[in-house]
């Protein structure tokens, strides 16, 4: 079967860890009967993109075309696609395939697929629904994605805020739900880090009925975090404030992706509490066991969310108007944004590439 579609795409990729990004052209794989072809309108810039493109200099992983906070419009659907049609708004997050057969996939925990899910970029398409090459992400004008890994986006949710919900949003939403934020014994929730994930964490925890404490290393973010809904903001370098907050939180969602002293956050947990680490921190933590024993307070991690929870969050965000704070930027800002994210001074908002309106210009500028 051939879609008869033009599958040529323009995109932004890194060919090595040091230099600036480059423009490129390529062709997406032929879609099958369960696939969706979409024009990318916006793509958020996630901190994981920075890890993928900048942190690991191994030559075999390049080129990398990041982007897994993708919002677009459906151009074409295969004959077996049921929930989407051309013209629909659509979102694609961090995964584009998984086995769909193991117990975790069957629970819609595709992110923990026993056979390994295929990530939206840099992933190996081993399950047969994501083409035949290493996957390329949403810093590109076109995508071909199997319907299961697309979410339908209501038209009253602005398309430019969709992408960050699909990664930053679900990454904080899934652990809040998993650890029962808002329930009787989980009222006091901490959100550590005030960047792309942290700012969504504050909004979502508040909407779940929690009393939110934001913890930030940056005094200049205090007002912004309070405005987002935190009833208490602690600057982590303020030892007195950290001590004063000891044993006050039932759940902490820790979005910090740089190495940090994990026990400093653990000390804020009440008995039975959980500290959930979300950042891809490579350096091992030094973890003291005795405080864990003394309070039955644990440390865990969490990775994005499955497709069911992702669709659910899109609907919650639409209904309750919980929108990520975004700044839509021209594709030619990509290198500057990466520099800012690497400097750790990122503000509580997400940068979103205006792919539809600025990719062409970026590519022609680059080719001059």
Contact flag: residue 329 with a second copy (CB under 8 A): no
Please tell me the distance from the alpha carbon of residue 56 to that of residue 260, in angstroms, as a whole number: 20
Identity of the residue, 222 or 292, whose beta carbon is nearer to a second copy in the bound complex: 292
Q: Classify 139 as helix, strand or coil.
A: coil
Q: Which stretch binds a second copy (CB under 8 A): 123-131, 186-194, 214-222, 292-300?
A: 292-300
Q: Which stretch binds a second copy (CB under 8 A): 82-90, 107-115, 133-141, 193-201?
A: 107-115
How big is the site for a second copy, counted in residues (CB under 8 A)?
A: 37
Identity of the residue, 220 or 296, whose beta carbon is nearer to a second copy in the bound complex: 296
Q: Which stretch binds a second copy (CB under 8 A): 32-40, 151-159, 269-277, 344-352?
A: 269-277
Contact flag: residue 281 with a second copy (CB under 8 A): yes
Q: Which of 166, 297, 307, 322 binds a second copy (CB under 8 A)?
A: 297
Closest CA relative to residue 359, chosen from 326, 327, 338, 332:
332
Contact flag: residue 178 with a second copy (CB under 8 A): yes
Q: Which of 7, 241, 303, 356 binds a second copy (CB under 8 A)?
A: 303
Q: Which of 98, 146, 255, 274 binds a second copy (CB under 8 A)?
A: 274
Site string for a second copy, 239-258 (x = CB under 8 A): --------x-----------
Q: Classify 52 as helix, strand or coil.
A: helix
Please tell me the distance from the alpha carbon of residue 119 to that of residue 46, in angstroms, as a whole number: 14
Residue matched to tokens 């901490």: 190
Closest CA relative to residue 213, chosen from 228, 226, 230:
230
Please state whether beta strands 142-146 and 211-216 pair in parallel, antiparallel, or not at all (unpaired): unpaired
CA distances from residue 135 to 4, 91, 188, 246 in whole angstroms, order as listed: 22, 17, 40, 45
Residues 6+ apart with CB under 8 A from 170: 93, 304, 305, 309, 310, 313
Give me the residues that bind a second copy (CB under 8 A), please: 104, 109, 112, 114, 175, 178, 247, 262, 271-272, 274, 277-282, 284-303
């Amino acid at each position: 079967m051939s879609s008869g579609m033009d599958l040529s795409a323009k995109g932004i990729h890194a060919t090595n860890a040091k230099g600036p990004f480059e423009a490129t052209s390529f062709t997406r794989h032929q879609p099958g009967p369960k696939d969706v072809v979409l024009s990318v309108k916006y793509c958020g810039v996630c901190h994981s993109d920075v890890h993928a493109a900048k942190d690991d200099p191994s030559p075999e992983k390049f080129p990398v075309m990041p982007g897994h906070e993708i919002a677009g419009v459906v151009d074409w659907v295969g004959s077996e696609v049921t929930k989407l049609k051309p013209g629909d708004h659509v979102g694609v997050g961090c995964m584009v395939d998984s086995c769909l057969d193991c117990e975790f996939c069957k629970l819609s925990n595709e992110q923990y697929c026993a056979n390994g899910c295929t990530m939206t970029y840099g992933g190996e398409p081993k399950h047969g629904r994501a083409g035949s090459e290493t996957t390329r992400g949403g810093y590109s004008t076109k995508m071909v994605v199997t319907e299961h890994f697309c979410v339908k986006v209501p038209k009253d949710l602005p398309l430019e805020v969709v992408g960050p919900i699909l990664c930053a949003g679900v990454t904080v939403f899934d652990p809040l739900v998993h650890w029962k934020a808002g329930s009787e014994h989980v009222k006091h929730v901490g959100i550590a880090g005030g960047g792309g994930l942290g700012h969504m964490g504050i909004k979502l925890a508040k909407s779940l009925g929690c009393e939110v404490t934001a913890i930030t290393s940056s005094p200049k973010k205090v007002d912004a975090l309070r405005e987002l809904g935190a009833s208490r903001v602690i600057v982590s370098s303020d030892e007195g404030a950290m001590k004063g907050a000891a044993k006050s939180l039932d759940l902490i969602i820790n979005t910090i992706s740089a190495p940090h002293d994990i026990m400093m956050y653990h000390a804020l947990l009440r008995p039975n509490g959980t500290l959930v680490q979300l950042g891809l921190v490579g350096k091992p933590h030094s973890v003291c066991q005795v405080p864990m024993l003394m309070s039955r307070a644990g440390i865990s991690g969490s990775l994005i969310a499955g497709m069911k929870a992702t669709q659910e969050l899109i609907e919650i965000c639409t209904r309750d108007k919980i929108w990520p704070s975004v700044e839509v930027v021209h594709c030619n800002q990509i290198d500057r944004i990466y520099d800012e994210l690497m400097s750790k001074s990122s503000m509580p908002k997400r940068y979103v590439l205006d792919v539809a309106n600025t990719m062409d210009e970026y590519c022609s500028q680059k080719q001059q």
